[in-house]
Amino acid sequence: MAASSLLGGFDWRAPLGVGRSLLLAFATFALLLLLLGKNPLSAYAAIFSGALGSGYSIGEVLVKLIPFVLCALAATVPARVGLVNVGGEGQLYMGAWLASFAALNLTSLPAWLMIPVLIVTGFAGGAGWAGICGFLRVKAGLNETISSLLLNYVGTLVVDHFVHGPWKQQSAQGWPFTAPFVDAARLPTFLGSRVHLGIVLALGGVALTYFVLRWTRWGFEVRIVGGNPEAARRSGIPVGRYLLVAMAIGGGMAGLAGMCEVSAIQGRLRPGISNGYGYIGFLASWLANHNPLWTVATSALLAIIVVGGDVMQVNVNLPSASIDILTGLLLFFILGRSRKVVAA
């Protein structure tokens, strides 16, 4: 079923299809656990109790929810015009990189001005990186799935270069990271937890994306481009422009996730700021059938799995790759249920 129908009217076929895929993934993972001599019920109980069993763990779920939602939107918006953006990881890194440039060089700005600057630069970093893929798709016909995936590795290497080289803190005793950000460049947190202002950006991004796609002329024409690009061309819609803009907006969302990680969580730029958040967001978008509202629920589910997975590994004595297997199975069955590949 086309994702656009979820924005117009509710259709039970989509959630039922997702539910079947989830059951298949969890059942397959349970079978693997049985083959390893582990109790699947104990493993799943450990996941949910570890993620929801205390106020601290719930806070950590919300912390993970922020980049998952933003990276899900990075895949959702391009999907509306028929593009497959797998580059959320690289776009996240480039958003973090450009926001870090602002934080390290505009240290005299007050917090009320610094935070908007970080938001703009974080969005711009991700948008520019995704825009490369959109431009290559429009001008050269290069498949955006391949280009965005390959640029993930380039983006991480760009960050590695700067934190090992020109931006490296001289007093870091060999550790590759920048100087700490000034207090004005740190996103505020809530109630003494690690939950930060990014939760407002993520939920606001979801609401704005839904409104634009559902209720504006631009969103209507996006649905036409995604449904039938040839008919859109014949109707006079500039398809290439829509492809480029949608890709850039999606990348900007992932760039915001990178900004949040360095500004709120790390307090500086360093390698490894993302633990596959871009790929998890891609999975969350497909779980939600590219519906921006549903990405909140699917991102929450994946956040619970990731946070509770650490407890499962300890309580059930499983290797750290166990959760990666479960998320991989989720992606496998979700993509397998799709009857057609999104393509422009």
Distance CA 206, CA 293 (A): 6
Would you state the torsion angle of the CA atoms of residues 312, 316, 320, 326, taken in this order, to the nearest 10 degrees? Answer: -60
Q: Percent of the chain beyond pLDDT 70?
A: 93
Rounded to the nearest integer, the mean pLDDT of the chain is 90
How much is the pLDDT for 340? 40
Q: Distance (Å, rounded) from C-alpha 276 to C-alpha 252?
A: 17
| Calpha distance 84→310 (Å, rounded) | 30
Q: In the structure, what pLDDT confidence band is assigned to residue 339 with cuts at 50, 70 and 90?
A: very low
% of the chain exceeding 90 in pLDDT: 68
Per-residue tokens: 135: 């431009």
Q: Is this model's pTM higher than 0.75 or not?
A: yes
Using the predicted structure, report yes or no on whether residue 245 has a pLDDT greater than 50.
yes
pLDDT at site 319 = 80
For residue 194, pLDDT beyond 70: yes
Is the pLDDT at 192 greater than 90? The verdict is no
Is residue 5 predicted with pLDDT exceeding 70?
no
Better-predicted residue by pLDDT, 177 or 3? 177
pLDDT classification of 172: cutoffs 50, 70, 90: low
As beta bridge partners, residue 189 has 196
* Confidence check: pLDDT of 150 > 90: yes
For residues 141 and 343, the answer to whether their CB atoms sit within 8 Å is no
The per-residue pLDDT for range 84-129, each reduced to its tens digit, is 999 999 999 999 999 999 999 999 999 999 999 999 999 999 999 9
pLDDT at residue number 158: 97
The per-residue pLDDT for range 49-86, each reduced to its tens digit, is 889 988 999 999 999 999 999 999 999 999 999 999 99
Tokens 């994946």, located at residue: 302
Structure tokens at 112: 């009320």
- Residues 271 and 274: their CA atoms lie apart, in Å, by 8
Measured distance CA(241)–CA(245) in Å, rounded = 6
CA dihedral 248, 252, 254, 256 (to 10 degrees): 180
Is the confidence at residue 241, as pLDDT, over 70? yes
Q: How far apart are CA 277 and CA 291, in angstroms?
A: 19
Q: Where are the domains of the chain?
A: 14-29+39-337
The hierarchical CATH code for the domain 14-29+39-337 is: 1.10.3470
Which 3 state secondary structure label does DSSP give 196?
strand
Check residue 12 and give its pLDDT. 58
What's the Cα-to-Cα distance from 59 to each of 46, 63, 106, 160, 281, rounded to whole Å?
17, 6, 31, 30, 19
When pLDDT is averaged across residues 245-268 and rounded to a whole number, the result is 97
Q: pLDDT tens digit string along 10-41?
A: 455 566 767 788 899 999 999 999 998 888 99
Q: How far, in Å, are 3, 27, 73, 133 from residue 339 at the CA level?
A: 12, 22, 22, 25
Nearest 5°: phi and psi at 73?
A: -65, -30
- Asked if 126 and 83 touch (Cβ cutoff 8 Å), the reply is no
Query: Which residues partner with 196 through β-bridges?
Result: 189
DSSP string computed for 133-195 = HHHHHHHH---HHHHHHHHHHHHHHHHHHHHHTTT--TTSTT----PPPPGGGS--BSTTSS-
- Rounded to the nearest angstrom, the gap between the alpha carbon of residue 305 and the centroid of all alpha carbons in its chain is 16
